[in-house]
Amino acid sequence: MKTKKTDLFDSLHKEYATMVLHMCLGFMSGDREKANDLVQEVFIKIWTSLNSFKGLSSYKTWIYRITVNTCLQLIRKEKNLVTFPINEYSNPVAEDSLKDKEDDAAQLYHAIGQLKEADRLIIMMVLEGQSNEDIAEVLGIEHTTIRVKIHRIKKRLNKILSNE
């Protein structure tokens, strides 16, 4: 029999799995297999932390926090995160998607993969339409700091993409 917790967990998974996948793909430079594993790890952490959710922020912000922390924890675990070159982007992001859209995404993930790990996560949140305030809340840093930081990351990403 399903409990209240599993119902909530299932609905969070249904609603936010794709959002988490986008973050993980950005972090993993587009490697779908590794990103999928990371998504699973994020949701396992969501499950174990679900009882601690106090409702002080939205579920979305809370899940972003867990996603960012899980990704950064991976760096500590693996010491060095490998940046995957574009030709290793072999696993299509969606089987029924159009080729050019995949190429666009692959190119973007590749460019994002050249940023520092923390910056990858920040730019993914920017692309997902998160406000500066929300990103600052997820990271626990000053709003002004994040504004300057995002500006620099955008500049860096533009530079990488224009060089490709």
Q: Which residues bind other proteins (CB under 8 A)?
A: 10, 13-14, 17-18, 20-22, 25, 36, 39-40, 43-45, 47-49, 52-53, 62, 65-66, 68-70, 72-73, 75-76, 79, 93-98, 101-102, 104-105, 108, 115-119, 127, 137-141, 145, 148-149, 152-159, 161-162
Q: How far is it, in rounded angstroms, from Cα 46 to Cα 161?
A: 34
Which residue in this structure is represented by tokens 């190429």? 103
Q: Which of these, 84, 65, 76, 40, lies nearest to 125 by C-alpha position?
A: 65
Do the Cβ atoms of 33 and 55 come closer than 8 Å? no
What is the nearest approach in angstroms of other proteins to the Cβ of residue 149?
6
Question: Which is nearest to 124 in space by CA: 58, 64, 41, 59?
Answer: 64
Q: Cite the DSSP H helix spans in the chain.
A: 4-27, 32-49, 59-78, 99-112, 117-127, 132-139, 143-163
Least distance CB 88 / other proteins (angstroms):
17
Tell me whether residue 88 or residue 142 sits nearer to other proteins (CB atom). Answer: 142
Compute the least distance from the CB of residue 44 to other proteins, in Å: 6
Q: Given the complex with other proteins, which of 80 and 87 has the nearer CB atom?
A: 80
Between 77 and 87, name the residue whose CB sits nearer to other proteins: 77
